[in-house]
Chain A
Amino acid sequence: MLIYRGLLLVSFLVLATLSLPHSAEAQENPYFVAYDHYLEEPGNLEVEYFSTFGTQRGGNDFHSYWMELEYGATAWWTTELYLDGQTTFGDSTIFTGIRWENRFRPLKREHFINPILYVEYEHKSGADKILKEGEGHDIEADFLTPNSVARQEIINEMEFKLILSSTFKGWNFTQNTLAAKNLSNEPWEFGYALGASRPLALKASAKRCTLCPQNFIAGIEMYGGLGDRYHFGLHDTSHYVAPVLGWNLPSGWTLRISPGFGLNDNSHQFLLRWGVSREISGFGSMVGRLFRGGQ
């Protein structure tokens, strides 16, 4: 039942996105896991869909997917709602949970290193496979549990990140440190993500164009777990490195793709991620007008 509700909601949102006339050309980073210090513009809504295909040794490969609704509440606060699901080939398709993420910019001005505070609440099942972060001792073998069993485990988790990001000569460098706490009696878990990216051209063209190099942003990201409070370090952790490419279209759509590679025996050998998103400018004002009588 939950799957049908989820699919219905996703279909509605996709249709709503396609029918909305106001779009703004986005200048989105190409990362899938790492975050930089740029928040959503205030009043704008970004509707995003992401997929991950992952290989699984000793079991069936999987395709996980999630939808993000990212809203710029103010210039210093961005809030996001996630809906997650996955298909394990030869097993089943299930809805795996929701996440509510908030990012805050504590400093008024731009600095050489810009901190962002990240707070997320996750309500998910043990069958969650979106690999949105590397944390604790999460390893490839955890994904061998059949969906029917894994979905019985309900996880309520708080996740905190300190994002330190810098932009220099067109390059963005970012470092994310993660601490997550399962709200049941589990220890704190840690993880990291690193990213670097740059547009293919820094100057904009004097003509409108779709394939101009300034519309493409290429880079690389690396992420993984750092153990938990009692066993901190790289032992029994998984790590990935992934080239990333983002294409910001003038119509307001952004396409992203990233092949990822496991760096040790605990990691999935290969992850292929792709995503599509669209930014809707002035969404907050549109909603506001609906309730204030179309002023």
Chain B
Amino acid sequence: MRTHKTGVLISILLIVAFFLPPAVGQENANPATEKKSSAETMYSEIGKAPEKARAKRNPLEKDPNAVAAGRILFEQRCAECHGHNAEGGKKGPSLRAAEIQNAEPGAIFWILTNGVVRKGMPVWSKIPEPQRWQLVSFIKSLGPAPAKREPAPANASQPPLRILLCGVVEDHG
């Protein structure tokens, strides 16, 4: 009987644990606003990198293999959260944003090493230091994301009706 009770208690606690990460982010009703504020928090963290960390130079800056190795590491460890093109994913913000691309390599290395633990980004110091620099090389090689085209104003030159309705209805006007 006691074993049964313990089993039930453990099951409940494990279920709570499984749902904790989504629950933490559900305070804000608007997912878009929530995602944006989460990204802003992440970006603001990079500004907290100490001066000494920022001043560090990437020792693999001139290594011709660093970007290729960094790409593989990114796919293995980072793409799950930051997206396969590093333009942002389910949990992590875009790494092609100006805040990251304009940051010093040392600051990106510092974030990788320390994580943003309270906001869900783990500490990545278990990846050896040269591999973290390879990741920095790859991230910096991406450059800013291509600008998205602004949607046309509502009353700007109206397209023909057939285009609006994907060719289902012909415009005979």
Judge whether A288 and B19 touch: CB under 8 Å: yes
With A and B bound together, what is the CA distance between A202 and B24 in angstroms?
35
Judge whether B123 and A110 touch: CB under 8 Å: yes
B125 contact set on A, CB distance < 8 A: 38, 110, 167
Question: Closest residue to B66 on the A side, CB-wise?
Answer: A206
Judge whether A199 and B128 touch: CB under 8 Å: yes
With A and B bound together, what is the CA distance between A75 and B24 in angstroms?
12
Kindly specify which of A143-151, A219-227, A257-265, A279-287 makes contact with the partner chain: A279-287
Judge whether B10 and A75 touch: CB under 8 Å: no
Q: Which of B17, B118, B129 contacts A75 (CB 8 A)?
A: B118
Q: How far is the CB of A77 from chain B (nearest CB, A)?
A: 8
B116 contact set on A, CB distance < 8 A: 75
Q: Decide if A137 is an interface residue (CB 8 Å cutoff).
A: no
B121 contact set on A, CB distance < 8 A: 75
A81 contact set on B, CB distance < 8 A: 10, 14
Q: Decide if B38 is an interface residue (CB 8 Å cutoff).
A: no
Judge whether B14 and A108 touch: CB under 8 Å: no
Q: How far is the CB of A201 from chain B (nearest CB, A)?
A: 8
With A and B bound together, what is the CA distance between A172 and B76 in angstroms?
21
B73 contact set on A, CB distance < 8 A: 204
Judged by DSSP, the binding face of A is loop
Number of residues from B at the complex interface, CB < 8 A: 44
Q: Decide if B143 is an interface residue (CB 8 Å cutoff).
A: no
Judge whether B129 and A202 touch: CB under 8 Å: yes
B160 contact set on A, CB distance < 8 A: none
Given contacts A75-B115, A75-B118, whether A206 and B72 have CB atoms under 8 Å apart is: yes
Q: How far is the CB of B132 from chain A (nearest CB, A)?
A: 10
Question: Closest residue to A250 on the B side, CB-wise?
Answer: B76
Judge whether B129 and A105 touch: CB under 8 Å: no
B102 contact set on A, CB distance < 8 A: none
Q: Which of B6, B70, B114 contacts A109 (CB 8 A)?
A: B114
Report the tally of A-B residue pairs with Cβ distances under 8 A: 126
Judge whether A71 and B90 touch: CB under 8 Å: no
Kindly specify which of A39-47, A49-57, A187-195, A237-245 makes contact with the partner chain: A39-47
Interface code A197-236, partner B: CB below 8 Å = 1, 0 otherwise? Answer: 0010011111110000010000000000000000000000
Q: Decide if A155 is an interface residue (CB 8 Å cutoff).
A: no
Given contacts A199-B128, A284-B21, whether A75 and B14 have CB atoms under 8 Å apart is: no
Q: Decide if A98 is an interface residue (CB 8 Å cutoff).
A: yes
Q: Decide if B155 is an interface residue (CB 8 Å cutoff).
A: no
Question: Closest residue to B20 on the A side, CB-wise?
Answer: A73
Q: How far is the CB of B142 from chain A (nearest CB, A)?
A: 17
B77 contact set on A, CB distance < 8 A: 24-25, 27
Judge whether B122 and A203 touch: CB under 8 Å: no
Q: Decide if A270 is an interface residue (CB 8 Å cutoff).
A: no
A250 contact set on B, CB distance < 8 A: 76
Judge whether A287 and B18 touch: CB under 8 Å: yes
Q: Decide if B99 is an interface residue (CB 8 Å cutoff).
A: no
With A and B bound together, what is the CA distance between A55 and B134 in angstroms?
45
Judge whether B22 and A282 touch: CB under 8 Å: no
B129 contact set on A, CB distance < 8 A: 169-170, 202
Given contacts A24-B76, A199-B128, A282-B90, whether A79 and B17 have CB atoms under 8 Å apart is: yes
Give me 15 A-to-B residue pairs in the complex whose CB atoms sit less than 8 angstroms apart, sorted by A's number. Answer: A22-B80, A38-B122, A39-B122, A73-B18, A73-B20, A74-B24, A105-B123, A167-B126, A202-B128, A202-B130, A203-B130, A204-B72, A204-B130, A205-B69, A285-B21
Write the residues of chain A forming the contact surface with B, with a CB cutoff of 8 angstroms: 22, 24-25, 27, 29, 36-39, 41-43, 71-77, 79, 81, 98, 100, 105, 108-110, 123, 167, 169-170, 172, 199, 202-208, 214, 250, 281-282, 284-285, 287-288, 292
